[in-house]
Amino acid sequence: MLNIDAISKSFGDQVLLDTAGFRINPGERVGLVGRNGHGKTTLLNIISGSDHADEGSISCPSGYRIGFLSQKIVFTKKSVIEEAMLGLLEHEKDHSWKAEKILAGLGFYQNDLTKDPYQFSGGFQVRLNLAKVLISEPDLLILDEPTNYLDITSIRWISQFLISWPREVLLVTHDRGFMDNVVTHIAGIHRQKIKKIKGDTSKYYLQVAQDEEVYEKTRQNEEKRKKEIEQFISRFRAKARLANMVQSRIKTLEKSQSKQKLQKLKNLEFQFNYLPFSGKQVLTIENLSFGWQSDKLLIDKFSLTVYPDDRIAIIGKNGKGKTTLLKLINGNIQSISGSIKINPGVDFGYFEQTNIQSLNDNFTVEEELILSSIDSDRQSARNICGAMMFEKDAALKKISILSGGEKSRVMLGKLLMSPLNLLLLDEPSNHLDIESCDSFVCALDNFQGAVAIVTHNEMFLHSIANRLIVFKNNAVEVFEGTYQEFLEKEGWEDEQDAGEKKLKTFFLTKKELRKKKSEIITQKSIKIKPAKQKIENLENNIEKNDKLIADINKGLIEASNNQDGQKIQSLSKELARLQNSNEELFEDLETQMELFEEIERLFNNQLEEFER
């Protein structure tokens, strides 16, 4: 159990956390969400002890161990076993058997233990990092973007591993599908506070939206009430008979604290600039072959035709040729044989994570965007700077001082500067937060041109792909269909090492899925209808009371002008009754809305299971 109590953290005039806190209870797997730059990594560093809070405290039981799995891959030993043993506690430094046991559980063979860690794929390098953490037997496992640069099979493996983890987990990831599959709770950093709820990201974001809506309505009602009190005081201050009522309202006004209007939070919102294309084919690949060694081909006699409305996802294990295929299409490398013919009317943009090295450190963000297109001007560059969340002076930041995530946004911004009809994207979401990933999916969905994307984010695959290029069983082939259809018809072969538990996923047939989904939707409608009706009735009653209250306030003003004390007394009692009635109605409304949300959550969770 870990308790974070009223911590605050600032960097200069930027406040990240303001008396924020939450608790991780035994057995909980908590997903930490929040926009980039809002304090997720800072909070992880504070919890792990590599940073400190300005105020507040973090407490846990005596002997409670925290293990931190960083996304950074750095090895200092020459063998897997030596590297893993770095995680052993001081009194166990020579217990190599313990390291061997955990490495075996993570899929390493006995003859792997003497190999150099850098000989392994990214997936197994992350497992080695994980082994170092697990060897210390942590009570709380903290993971910072564990899926970055992993392939789909590795992500599926680590997902199942975390679900079976017997103690606590705190997870940060941009992969929303992965997070929802693993966690039991969501803790979100929002407006310098931390809100924790039981459930997945959908429930969390819905709750935040509802909280903000309630806050704004309350603020508006309080402002309206405050103006009414001020008007009453102004009108009747000189009336001796109403002196007590005036003084009472003055005291009420003095005690009241005005709520600040919520500042609108900026999201990554943009759209790709489409270049009209009238051709029937974007490009054709015929008998393409490539290998770094002539006797060991990554791609062998591969053919493909890309059409204007294609959304092609390139999937498979790391190191099998996915990025290489994009580089061949882009012209960065040359094939051994075969051809790639791009239609003369095609203009394409290429995004690659390592391309951030091509940015000029001496340029500002604005200058980098202006120079990316011959037809660009400062205003269009500024517009895209704003869309990429480099507003005002932030557009004048030098590239050299930007974080990896900010540089990634600059690379995306460069794609927006020119009209395009083909996008080649290699893992574009690695440095985006969950909100930005959602916006990115929408931008791709609205783009009228063709898209070829390398991604291991299964939410992206389900949302975008209508065709697949699959690197599997040491071959590459085209699958004509969606990712869900691929999982139903083929799925991933058992690519885990011997001795590991094979991960099985059961998928319903389309007919069964439609029938089951229809049943759930029908049941949801039956259950939700009465709750929805109660909410509407309560809202109508509140609205009626509000109108009556407004009429009474007018009547009070009129009675006061006529110095009709009896009427003032009668109306005041009725006003108090209506206000008390509204308070009770609001309480009932809140209860009914919670019930409504719980019903929706239960049925939506069932629907999401079938969608997966």
- pLDDT of 464 > 50? The answer is yes
Looking at the fold, whether 192 and 70 belong to one and the same domain comes out as yes
Looking at the fold, whether 440 and 554 belong to one and the same domain comes out as no
Domain boundary among the residues 147, 175, 205 is at 205
Kindly give the pairing relationship between strand 193-198 and strand 185-190.
antiparallel
3-state secondary structure at position 495 = coil
Calculate the average pLDDT of the chain.
83
Q: What is the mean pLDDT of residues 121-143?
A: 85
**Is residue 543 situated within a structural domain?**
yes
The secondary element (H helix, E strand) that includes residue 571 is helix 565-611
Looking at the fold, whether 379 and 422 belong to one and the same domain comes out as yes
Looking at the fold, whether 351 and 477 belong to one and the same domain comes out as yes
Looking at the fold, whether 466 and 569 belong to one and the same domain comes out as no
**Is residue 555 situated within a structural domain?**
yes
Please list, in sequence order, all residues whose beta carbon lies within 8 angstroms of the beta carbon of residue 449, skipping any fewer than 6 positions away.
272, 274, 275, 277, 282, 308, 420, 421, 422, 423
- pLDDT of 363 > 60? The answer is yes
Looking at the fold, whether 526 and 475 belong to one and the same domain comes out as no
| Tens of pLDDT, residues 532-591 | 788 888 888 888 888 888 888 888 888 777 877 788 888 888 888 888 887 888 777 777
**Is residue 442 situated within a structural domain?**
yes
Q: What is the mean pLDDT of residues 484-500?
A: 65
Looking at the fold, whether 54 and 127 belong to one and the same domain comes out as yes
The secondary element (H helix, E strand) that includes residue 538 is helix 510-561
pLDDT of residue 386: 83
How far is it, in rounded angstroms, from Cα 278 to Cα 561?
A: 75
Question: What is the 8-class DSSP label of residue 382?
Answer: H
Domain boundary among the residues 161, 181, 205 is at 205
The CA-CA-CA angle for residues 70, 75, 76, to 5°, reads: 130
The secondary element (H helix, E strand) that includes residue 460 is helix 458-464
| Tens of pLDDT, residues 573-585 | 888 888 888 788 8
Total number of domains constituting the chain: 3
pTM: 0.64
pLDDT class of 121 with cuts at 50, 70, 90:
confident
Looking at the fold, whether 450 and 348 belong to one and the same domain comes out as yes
Question: What is the 8-class DSSP label of residue 401?
Answer: G
- pLDDT of 164 > 60? The answer is yes
**Is residue 95 situated within a structural domain?**
yes
Looking at the fold, whether 476 and 562 belong to one and the same domain comes out as no
Between 511 and 242, the higher pLDDT residue: 242
**Is residue 268 situated within a structural domain?**
no
pLDDT class of 468 with cuts at 50, 70, 90:
very high
pLDDT class of 508 with cuts at 50, 70, 90:
very low
Kindly report the CATH number assigned to the domain that includes residue 90: 3.40.50.300
Question: What is the 8-class DSSP label of residue 448?
Answer: -
pLDDT of residue 168: 93
- pLDDT of 4 > 90? The answer is yes
Looking at the fold, whether 200 and 308 belong to one and the same domain comes out as no
Spell 555-571 as b/e; 16+ CB within 10 A means b: bbbebbeeeeeeebeeb
Kindly give the pairing relationship between strand 2-11 and strand 55-59.
antiparallel
CB contact at 8 A, 495 and 153:
yes
Q: Give Cα separations from 414 to 285, 380, 382, 395, 465 (angstroms).
A: 27, 11, 12, 13, 24
List the beta bridge partners of residue 189: 194
| Tens of pLDDT, residues 48-107 | 888 899 999 999 988 899 988 876 788 999 999 999 999 888 888 888 888 888 888 777
Q: Give Cα separations from 307 to 122, 297, 412, 461, 482 (angstroms).
A: 33, 27, 23, 18, 16
The arrangement of strands across the sheet holding 337-342 comes to 299-306, 283-290, 337-342
Q: What is the mean pLDDT of residues 10-27?
A: 91
| Tens of pLDDT, residues 225-257 | 888 888 878 877 777 766 777 788 788 777 777
Looking at the fold, whether 48 and 181 belong to one and the same domain comes out as yes
pLDDT of residue 23: 94
Domain boundary among the residues 488, 516, 543 is at 488
Range of the domain at 98: 2-205
pLDDT of residue 520: 65
CB contact at 8 A, 455 and 151:
no
CB contact at 8 A, 189 and 43:
yes
**Is residue 503 situated within a structural domain?**
no
| Tens of pLDDT, residues 168-212 | 999 998 888 899 999 999 999 999 999 999 999 989 988 988 888
Tally of CB atoms within 10 A around 532: 14
- pLDDT of 7 > 90? The answer is yes
Least confident of 110-119, 318-327, 484-493: 484-493
**Is residue 264 situated within a structural domain?**
no
Looking at the fold, whether 445 and 526 belong to one and the same domain comes out as no
pLDDT class of 505 with cuts at 50, 70, 90:
very low
How far is it, in rounded angstroms, from Cα 184 to Cα 101?
A: 28
Question: What is the 8-class DSSP label of residue 87?
Answer: G
3-state secondary structure at position 479 = strand
**Is residue 273 situated within a structural domain?**
no
